[in-house]
Structure 1
Amino acid sequence: MTLVVFALVDNVHLLDLAGPAQVFDTAGYRLAYVADRPQVTSAQGLPVVAARELPALGVDDLVVVPGWRGETDLSERLLARLRRHHEAGGVVASVCAGARALGAAGLLDGRRCTTHHDLQDDLARRHPGATVVRDVLFTVDDRVITSAGIASGVDLALHVVATRHGPARAAQVAREMVVYARRNGAEPQASAMLRHRNHLDDTVHQVQDLIDTRFTEPLPLSRLAAHAGVSERTLTRLFTRATGLTPLRYQQALRVEHAEHLIGHGTTVEAAARESGFDDARMLRRLRSRFRPVPPG
């Protein structure tokens, strides 16, 4: 059974810790907590008991550094354990200010990363060799996973579950936690992806993963069905039952939302149509009246 170890410091944010811990616990992982002393106090005043030494770790195990308030940082002893675990092939992750610890351990140089929007400038200044990605929920780069902070730690953990056990298991965990949807890291504002991911059909999730990343391209039903290993008729039936849309309508919804985003930032309708995968603006104009994108947030 996979072990998830949370490396803690004083003033740790409770949700940074509790959100991912709840996800991994619900998914059946073992949890452990480590710090430089037997007890740390959260930023919200709750004491948290922890061991001083990390347990033995395998390559399938995960070390997570939740964020904290203030200038506290992990000790060099714990930073060294982070480095060794990653060098041995393991995964390390951070939530919010926890990215600073990954940077101090030398794990962000040459990699994409993110953190809470209030801390992005500081992270970029501290670690100029890193590529700080803004306006995303989480990033994944060579077994280093970073999230934007607070509730996005849940998204990070669900992503790990989806990667290791399939999107259906991640969706099941999300439903057990009463989390409305599994949000994708690189597309925090793509509301169609959120609205139509609240199901447990693994075949449909696989097809949605393909459409989500290639929605501007022609995606004939035959290609989608082959990707899922089912017939076109079966895929249409499963997809419609799970999402309320056909695969084509789902792709159109993503295209329209992308075009709306571009138009909202000053792009002409014609240019937005082309960049979103439409042959011309006429189809976009027709579809804009059918799809009502949900405002971000």
Structure 2
Amino acid sequence: MSRVVFVLVPGVHLLDLAGPAQVFGTATDLGLPYELGYVAERELVPSAQGLTLNARTEWPTTGPDDLVVVPGWRISPPHDGRAPGPEPLERLRAHHAAGGTVASVCAGALALGRAGLLDGRRCTTHHELQDELAARHPRATVVRDVLFTTDDRVVTSAGIASGIDLALHLLAVRHGPALAAQVARNMVVYARRNGDEPQASAMLRHRAHLDDVVHRVQDVIDARFTEPLSLARLAVGAGVSERTLTRLFTRATGGLTPLRYQQTLRLERAEHLIGQGSTVAAAAREVGFDDARMLRRLRARAL
């Protein structure tokens, strides 16, 4: 039996906790021997979303096969006000020193840093906290804009939904990618992402604007980016001329034309497939290219 122990802090984000807990809970439903536990300095732990959680104040005995996870919490000045106290930090240090694995989601990396577990190691956190993590722990190597990192049994993730990716990765390492894929399918997760994938997808990076026409066109491209989509067809659907659509789209997305936006989505999806073991040719076909030459050119341009 392997234990997964979650260390809860007042203001804990529910998805930071529930995402990885669901992954290991689903693995248990599939017959893997995991036991989930929740510890805190007080029995009642208010979450950031208003739901109060019940936890144990006594730590279970853990061994090298066990995992201790620190989910993130709502950050408000002073940022350390809700961080785990001396006893949980000592427990984290002792567990790692005994050969166990520790992990964090989002602001949980600040707790690992305070425990001294990030010194000399690669780590990451939510993009809004990366500067603070680097400033507080200058001996750590903060890797920016990735989903998760692993370094000597210290695993850190970007936060919120990326805790699911972190947990699926740990399952894949221990039990193989097929089992992790089975858990992901059971959870209706769109895809099991690699750790070095960006925290914000192309669909999100180019949506920070207020142009309704462009958003409607992006909705079409997002849903059908593997298909041929002519500018004329997109313009008719948006109710504007081709010239107007190009002008609005370029201004709203910071310089991308509709075609370049579609190619960006194809490239991102292809990179994910290649990272999962697909060949360049197979990935090119999957995302809608007639052959692999265009994909190779786009990859070279991106590099």
Give me the TM-score of the superposition, normalised by structure 1.
0.69
Alpha-carbon offset, residue 53 of structure 1: 1.7
The aligned counterpart of 1:133 is: 143
The aligned counterpart of 1:18 is: 18
1:147 and 1:51 mapped to 2: Cα distance? 25
Alpha-carbon offset, residue 192 of structure 1: 2.4
The aligned counterpart of 1:171 is: 181
Amino acid at match of 1:69: R
Correspondent of 2:59 among 54, 60, 64:
54
* Cα distance change on mapping 1:90 and 1:155 into 2, 3 Å: same
Query: How do 1:231-242 and structure 2 match up within 5 A?
Result: none
2:23 and 2:167 mapped to 1: Cα distance? 6
2:61 and 2:295 mapped to 1: Cα distance? 47
Query: How do 1:239-250 and structure 2 match up within 5 A?
Result: 247=279, 249-250=281-282
Correspondent of 2:169 among 142, 151, 159:
159
- Which has more radius of gyration? 2
Q: Does the aligned pair in 1 maintain the 2:273–2:283 contact within 8 Å?
A: no
Q: Deviations over 1:153-205 (max 9, x none)?
A: 000000000000000000000000000110000133642254589xxxxxxx6
* Cα distance change on mapping 1:250 and 1:27 into 2, 3 Å: same
2:49 is the counterpart of 1:44:
yes
Q: Deviations over 1:114-142 (max 9, x none)?
A: 00000000000000000000110000000
1:193 and 1:76 mapped to 2: Cα distance? 43
1:136 and 1:50 mapped to 2: Cα distance? 31
Q: Deviations over 1:11-54 (max 9, x none)?
A: 00000000000001101121000000001000000001000121
* Cα distance change on mapping 1:256 and 1:127 into 2, 3 Å: farther
The aligned counterpart of 2:38 is: 33
The aligned counterpart of 2:242 is: none
Query: How do 1:80-229 and structure 2 match up within 5 A?
Result: 80-188=90-198, 190-192=268-270, 194=272, 208=277
1:248 and 1:11 mapped to 2: Cα distance? 44
Give me the TM-score of the superposition, normalised by structure 2.
0.68
- Aligned sequence identity (%): 64
Flag structure 1 segments of 5+ consecutive residues without an equivalent: 198-204, 212-246, 265-271, 273-297
Tell me whether 251-260 or 143-152 shows the greater mean CA deviation.
Answer: 251-260
The aligned counterpart of 1:228 is: none
* Cα distance change on mapping 1:255 and 1:33 into 2, 3 Å: farther
1:109 and 1:44 mapped to 2: Cα distance? 32
Alpha-carbon offset, residue 249 of structure 1: 1.6
1:52 and 1:170 mapped to 2: Cα distance? 31
Give 3-state SS (helix, strand or coil) of 1:27's partner.
Answer: helix
2:294 and 2:16 mapped to 1: Cα distance? 34
Q: Does the aligned pair in 2 maintain the 1:182–1:194 contact within 8 Å?
A: no
Q: Does the aligned pair in 2 maintain the 1:181–1:195 contact within 8 Å?
A: no
* Cα distance change on mapping 1:69 and 1:194 into 2, 3 Å: same
* Cα distance change on mapping 1:256 and 1:30 into 2, 3 Å: farther
1:120 and 1:185 mapped to 2: Cα distance? 16
Correspondent of 2:68 among 57, 63, 70:
63
The aligned counterpart of 2:298 is: 260
1:32 and 1:256 mapped to 2: Cα distance? 50
Amino acid at match of 1:16: D
* Cα distance change on mapping 1:126 and 1:256 into 2, 3 Å: farther
Alpha-carbon offset, residue 110 of structure 1: 0.3
The aligned counterpart of 1:285 is: none
1:180 and 1:248 mapped to 2: Cα distance? 21
